[in-house]
């Protein structure tokens, strides 16, 4: 069985490639021509240059492919239109090309932002809840979900949508390394009471969910894939501080500052502009917590790693590479 993975050599894509290769799968990676694929060299994979936003570049990558894992996406763009160009339009192009190539199954990695925040802290989000996408990023992923569902039904291709929340673990990007550095210096911030709930997903848990989706998920299905339970902001920061052997002396700031940042983020979006700081701050006091009950029941999904061990591995990976 030949499998195509997009999003490698990115964070999730590489972890998925590693797992597929460990199962002796024939793996091909669609890599943007401007991306450095050096980190894929340890794996027995075929690398094909292509761009999901350019349909003419996808033909060779999809030859004889039975399963597509579409992990590629953009979270923090230079311009807002880039979110829709890659996350929405790129997904459409890849799925249409997959249909033309005779692909059997298409698994799309979406985001918690496609569904939005919790209405109340005591009720976890489920797949059956209505969607209220968060920001342009969430809207671009939500529209991509609709495209995947619609085209899958129209063309008879088995499609599955996976919604992971924020994930963490080895190979984390620089922005997360920066948070660890600040935490080690005893510099952290909490907005509001810090008891807002956030689902998170250790990277290997997400990979487990993706592989189960290929094996067991019926066409047209959607699943939340996350750690066993949500965590509070205070719990996440305390865990990081303890593992970093750093003092936990957070600067406590009023939650209203996050509302101001959210308003600025929206205003910038109207002008097709984006600033990561305002976007991240705008989410800092929100509740975004999901139930994984459907994936547990239908897929047999059981996340093996929780916050303490996941953060331990993440910090160890950064230490080993001299990043901390």
What's the structural domain count of the chain? 1
> Residue 293 maps to which CATH number?
3.40.50.720
Instruction: Give the predicted TM-score (pTM) of the model.
Output: 0.95
User: Which residue would you say has higher pLDDT here, 31 or 270?
Assistant: 31
Q: Does residue 9 lie within any of the structural domains? A: yes
Q: With bands split at pLDDT 50, 70 and 90, how would you rate the model's confidence at 269? A: confident
pLDDT of residue 24: 96
CA–CA separation, 33 and 37 (whole Å): 9
| Within-domain flag for 96 | yes
Asked whether residue 161 is assigned to any structural domain, the reply reads yes
> What stretches of 71-155 adopt beta strand conformation (E)?
105-109
Looking at residue 21, its pLDDT comes to: 97
Domain that holds residue 211: 2-172+199-230+289-305
Rounded-to-integer distance, Cα 316 and Cα 221, Å: 36
Residue 218 lies in a domain: yes
Least confidently predicted of 82-86, 166-170, 172-176, 265-269: 265-269
Per-residue HEC secondary structure of 289-301 comes to CECCHHHHHHHCC
Alpha helices in 9-101 (DSSP H): 11-22, 59-62, 80-83, 90-101
CB 51 within 8 A of CB 86: no
Tell me if 181 is assigned to some domain: no
């Amino acid at each position: 069985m030949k499998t195509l993975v997009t999003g490698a050599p990115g964070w999730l894509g590489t972890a998925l490639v590693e797992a597929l290769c460990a199962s002796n799968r024939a793996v091909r990676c669609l890599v943007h021509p401007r991306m450095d694929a050096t980190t894929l060299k340890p794996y027995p994979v075929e690398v094909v240059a292509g761009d999901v936003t350019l349909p003419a570049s996808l033909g060779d990558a999809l030859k004889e492919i039975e399963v597509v894992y579409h992990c590629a996406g953009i979270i923090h763009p230079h311009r807002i239109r880039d979110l829709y160009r890659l996350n929405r339009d790129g997904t459409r192009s890849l799925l249409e090309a997959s249909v033309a190539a005779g692909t059997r199954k298409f698994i799309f990695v979406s985001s918690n932002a496609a569904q939005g925040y919790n209405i109340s802290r005591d009720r976890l989000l489920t797949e059956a809840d209505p969607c209220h996408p968060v920001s342009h990023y969430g809207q671009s992923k939500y529209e991509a979900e609709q495209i995947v569902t619609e085209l899958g039904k129209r063309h008879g291709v088995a499609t599955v949508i996976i919604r992971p929340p924020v994930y963490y673990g080895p190979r984390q990007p620089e922005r997360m390394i920066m948070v660890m550095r600040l935490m080690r210096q005893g510099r952290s911030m909490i907005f509001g009471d810090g008891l807002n709930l956030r689902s998170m997903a250790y990277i290997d848990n997400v990979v487990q969910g993706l592989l189960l989706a290929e094996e067991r998920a019926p066409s047209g299905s959607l699943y939340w894939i996350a750690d066993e339970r949500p965590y509070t902001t205070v719990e996440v920061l305390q865990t990081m501080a303890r593992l970093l052997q750093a003092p936990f002396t957070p600067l406590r700031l009023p939650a209203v500052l996050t509302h101001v940042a959210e308003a600025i983020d929206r205003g910038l979006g109207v002008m097709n502009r984006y600033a990561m700081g305002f976007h991240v701050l705008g989410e800092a006091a929100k509740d975004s917590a999901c139930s994984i009950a459907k994936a547990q029941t239908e897929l047999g999904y059981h996340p093996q790693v929780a916050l303490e061990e996941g953060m331990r591995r993440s910090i160890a990976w950064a230490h080993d590479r001299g990043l901390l």
